[in-house]
Amino acid sequence: MSERTLLKVDHLTTQFELPSKSFFKPPLMLTAVNDVSFELKEGRTLGIVGESGCGKSTLGRSILRLIHAQKGRIMWQGSDLLKLSDEDMRAARRDMQIIFQDPIASLDPRMTVGDIIAEPLTVFEPKLTKAQRQERVHEIMAAVGLVPEMINRYPHEFSGGQAQRIGIARAVITRPKLIICDEPVSALDVSIQGQVITLLRKLRKEFGLTLIFISHDLSVVRLISDDVLVLYLGRIVEAGDCATVFQHPAHPYTQALFSAAPVPDPKAARARKRIRLQGDPPSPLNPPPGCVFSPRCWKATDICRSAMPELEDVRAAQRAACYHMDRP
């Protein structure tokens, strides 16, 4: 597997300006992604997990500049994406595609399947003839398990699983280097989820793809990912090799998150200790001082409430941001 760094994110911060409740007060700033840094090697899959509202999707869309990030760098093949002009960014998106959460809503109901899948070719490879585009569409439809007879049908005629295969075909038809999968199976039945995950793994191997896989389903992330980031209130609290983090979670939040995940073995489920967190996550409009997890953490001490810990090595392929992490 290649060790070349394809994507490097340095201290990325994404904020949203919200109107103030008072005319005389300044707008409120909601920090959805807070000082996030990571590297992604070519050919690997990075899973991003965390509670709803932790900034997973905002991080993915900020990388593609679908959402504007205020601070940091996104280094992609030698260029900082945040400094590219709109024209250069459009060109860069040929190698960076996204698969959305809701397969039906992500497809234009007025376009046929063939036109939807061919749309990236019309944007990024305009010199192709109509016959050449159609040939490429047929090839990618076969690769994702869609029969050629579907090419003139419309999105409403398909099931959710079939619609997501159309979205995947549209994303990979230009042979991109990176695909961001924004909860691509959360709206699908469990049996269909397995088929889509198997398809993504096959396409990753066949086309040499690098994936960022965003999900709240830990079992799916464990199945498909090589590396994992755990986010809480927009910050990375733990990161590392997927197998290591799942087997030896070091941060209290990661431990609580993993303890809530269902397991298929009833005996193992009964024997496992469930960590129940008290209270709700703090508001990103008014985060607590120090460690953002401290108000809900059973290990928190005075230092946790006064200073935000940095990511530190736990094992060779694992880092966590906690003063009281579990060490080997």
Residue 28's pLDDT is 86
Residue 209's pLDDT is 95
Tokens 């986010």 appear where? 231
- DSSP element (H, E) containing 34: strand 28-41
Residue 269's pLDDT is 64
- Residue ranges of alpha helices (H) inside the chain are 56-63, 86-92, 113-124, 130-143, 160-172, 190-207, 218-224, 242-247, 252-259, 266-271
Count the Cβ atoms, other than its own, within 10 Å of residue 327: 12
CA 215-218-222 angle, 5° bins = 100
Residue 314's pLDDT is 95
Residue 130's pLDDT is 93
Residue 41's pLDDT is 95
HSE (CB half, 13 Å, CA atoms) of 293? 30
Residue 2's pLDDT is 57
Number of residues written out for the chain: 328
Q: Provide the residue type at 20 as one letter.
A: S
Positions in the chain short of pLDDT 70: 1-2, 264-265, 268-269
What does residue 76 show for φ and ψ, rounded to 5 degrees? -135, 110
Tokens 């389903």 appear where? 217
